[in-house]
Chain A
């Protein structure tokens, strides 16, 4: 749908771009700059009604060049870095301010933001470590022989993971330097119109001005605000670089962060309990969320439901030490106590928007959530200030979304592009022990939007072939699609619970983007024997109540 692709000479543009650089997708505007960089073409563009953008693209900004930078990005995470690098491609003067406020326990990290340092990357690697633990057990059934007892060494894993992250941090710094983006490891906050103050680790302050700003500060884990939480509890900001094995762990919360961490900790052989206030995975399909919970329980994870911690005390110092957690029922006055080595809080995340001087420039935030409302072009109520990523109100908190939004924004600002970030049908995966991939509507949301009589849900259990030989977890994996009856049974929701759910979901997400119907799904030939093929043979509707247990090839 990108307009420039449809424009005349798109092919040449493509080639022009390729001559210049190897970097990133759809650098369409840049290409156009090359193409339209002579006077005649500029005039042509003028007649087409895009003079402003073209002038800016060519660096002939009508605004007097009084600012230090064309663009200052506050926050060097996925969205901010993508936008900064993209802007540099248009030969803009760009600065990135990034500063990691240490966690209450003093942990901090390098450039790259949540995903790289304390999110997707370390979590998936530790999830992989847990999956390998399962692989070790399976492997014996497949003929592999080795000593009975296999122990997991937390430090070996964590050091490997942190080394890899270190290489990514370094890679980002190099990438910024190569692209002539100025990077300062300093805390950025607005102090006046078009002006930010950057404060570094040593407290040295500098002022910078820019024509435009991009806020991409992301979020940080929330604390409970109960006695002992900040002193003794850790968050996902600490877990992935914890310099000791966490031991017996209480995970507080039922977010995907909570369940993913609980899942891999248990997979590494630790005693893990999850304390849940109400439902699991709010916002996700609840039928699936409950199946995830059941699977985790069957695999040895304890769940304490409808309780919230009210106090955390230290019994003994150490690495790990011992903590006593007091919790209260959400339904009555019942109080329980438990002893753990580690308490991991995963009760939600708060946008880092309240201490960056937004009031000084008048950027509105949602007072309750701290999130920033933007229009469909990622612009805040202050026209020269934009925002992308996890801090956006009512948008998705996902790395690839932030990257896409950041890039497209810059292409619109400096490249004359018009493509907007499409927040619809974005696929995602929860890396719980049994992975969950989803795209489109949850069943609840579909029912609410279209009415139960207007949707058809097709579903089936399945048993991955690889699990047959170790003879484990039969009929735990599950596939479900939701179709809109009124629209030719168009697929509006896709859900898969099973191994490699992310790998499975990605292609179907692309297909959903193309508007596939149930009939087209049925006409697709399966790949045998893989898990994903189940989606080509779904025949039982939920309405029918028929048996969905796996029956064989």
Chain B
């Protein structure tokens, strides 16, 4: 049965058979290029079905020479170290709060980057090791090699030392992810700048830092750097958090400003030079004033977007189509590329969310369809996510702008509230930006289209609601849900003020 299924998938192209006939039996049922979240999940799932599976993973060192182990972006230079450093920053706030709560902490309080970095890096290394052990346990062959296609079923693996290995497989999954972009047109950018690929692996404090970009990576990094006490500036040319709800994005940056992060808005850098002091002199254009300005920093970090890692794959040799603008691989609903037995999952795929859990789910479902007689496709709708800025922002579903665009402003109802987390009261913390917004259809049922929450533990808050929204939750259903007192999440069950009413949305009292 499984064989029949596979044949059906592969049989579309006569070419595949020819190649197989020429090269004899393929070594592996499945070869995965890229050992990140999506690739590893797919590999392990396929191995569960007793298949011969191999993973090729290779980390091309960053321009600054940083490299890391198995596990991909999330584990090494993404979610994991970012959330841990965010936690370090939150603990800095906790130290301040603690004094209001009766803890006597003698000043001064210092933060030592190297202690944090060492702890974070040790944990990441333990995860690298864990991933290798898991592959071994599941009998997945792991090659620490860079893969590139030589024909439809053959991939050439190259070790760091230049040793070549040829691997053949029936099915191939591309899961090589993305890497940070450098603004190559800016003099000194590549030479002197770092990216998020380097930041988490720095042994010493980055010192006074300029973060260029307005992506979530930029704001998250700038946020935790500020939180651990560094002089941090964000330079952004246009809007923050493009693609996210813009009212929420403004609240996030507004909070960061009050938190101490400096912003250079509507500015773009033109060059980076190294001074004799070893500091970096950055020159930028202020588009508002039309002026040229400069300042010196210890570190300049680019967070101007990420590009798919497809260049070395030699996709032309097999005809896998990419989007010429983004360079991302075009896939169908079953994650198949233009070549039927070659698939792609994760950040490398065109039009998909760049999130670990979606890559994992997509990879697993793909393996189940290939080897487990499943036909279930990945559902990319209503995927929740969280931005770990100092005040976290969690959301699921449509932004207000997107909802207006899809349904028209007359047909949506937006409920919203400013609230104060109980813990902020004693700590005398400002809660001006703690805000929750729910976008609903306006017709009778008032189905929820999007939910947006800014406040502590936003990810924890949003997850369950994401499930409800996926199941078609309506505003009245949410209102029937009894709150948990006293939590921040209960504010969502108490939303009753519409934006349309223009009433004050500040929550007072219990």
Interface of A with B (CB < 8 Å)?
Answer: 1-2, 5-6, 10-11, 14-15, 18-19, 22, 24-26, 78, 112, 115-116, 120-121, 124-125, 128-129, 132-133, 135-136, 138-139, 141-147, 150-158, 160-161, 164, 168, 171-172, 175, 268, 398-401, 404, 422, 426-429, 437, 465-466, 468-469, 500, 502-511, 513-516, 520-521, 523-533, 535-536, 551-553
Contact = CB atoms under 8 A, between A and B. Distances in A.
Given A504-B463, A504-B464, A530-B459, 7 more contacts: A138-B91, A150-B103, A156-B100, A510-B465, A526-B463, A536-B467, A552-B134
21 contacts: A6-B444, A18-B501, A26-B496, A121-B486, A132-B97, A141-B119, A153-B102, A160-B100, A168-B510, A400-B485, A465-B80, A503-B488, A506-B483, A506-B490, A507-B462, A513-B468, A528-B355, A530-B460, A533-B357, A536-B463, A552-B134
Contacts of B510: 78, 112, 115-116, 121, 168, 399
Interface of B: 37, 71, 74-75, 79-80, 83-84, 87-88, 91-92, 94-95, 97-98, 100-117, 119-120, 123, 127, 130-131, 134, 228, 355-358, 361, 379, 383-386, 394, 422-423, 425-426, 442, 444, 446, 457, 459-468, 470-473, 476-490, 492-498, 500-504, 508-510
Contacts of B426: 125, 128, 157, 160-161, 164
A469 B80 contact: no
B423 A530 contact: no
A11 B500 CA distance: 12
A507 B489 contact: yes
Contacts of A551: 130, 134
Contacts of B500: 15, 18
Nearest to B88: A142
A508 B464 contact: yes
Contacts of A536: 357, 463, 467
B316 to A, nearest CB: 33
Nearest to A123: B486
Contact of B463 (A142, A157, A427, A530): A530
Contacts of B112: 143-145
B394 A132 contact: no
A172 B137 CA distance: 62
Contacts of B461: 503-504, 506-507
A513 B492 CA distance: 14
Given A144-B110, A422-B480, A528-B355, A128 B119 contact: no
A529 B464 contact: no
Given A469-B120, A502-B484, A136 B98 contact: yes
A529 B392 CA distance: 13
A524 B485 CA distance: 26
A509 B496 contact: no
A393 B105 CA distance: 48
Given A120-B486, A142-B119, A553-B74, A25 B494 contact: yes
Pairs of residues from A and B, 7 with the lowest C-beta to C-beta distance, nearest first? A507-B464, A18-B501, A143-B116, A157-B102, A506-B489, A532-B463, A508-B464
Given A161-B426, A500-B457, A14 B487 contact: no
Contacts, number: 336
Contact of A529 (B83, B100, B114, B484): B83
| Most chain A beta-carbon contacts within 10 A, residue among B98, B115, B457 | B98
A527 B111 CA distance: 29
Contact of A145 (B88, B109, B355, B509): B109
A450 B367 CA distance: 36
Given A136-B95, A143-B113, A510 B468 contact: yes
B50 to A, nearest CB: 18
Given A125-B422, A400-B490, A528-B79, A18 B498 contact: yes
Contacts of A151: 103-104
| Most chain B beta-carbon contacts within 10 A, residue among A128, A138, A157, A401 | A128
A132 B90 CA distance: 11
Contacts of A524: 384, 463, 466-467, 470
A426 B100 CA distance: 33
| Most chain A beta-carbon contacts within 10 A, residue among B101, B130, B488 | B101
B102 A502 contact: no
A5 B443 CA distance: 10
Contacts of A513: 468, 473, 477-478, 480-481
Contacts of B477: 1, 510, 513-514
Contacts of A153: 102-104
A525 B109 contact: no
Contacts of B384: 524-525, 527
| Most chain A beta-carbon contacts within 10 A, residue among B94, B131, B422 | B94
Given A136-B94, A150-B104, A503-B457, A511 B482 contact: no
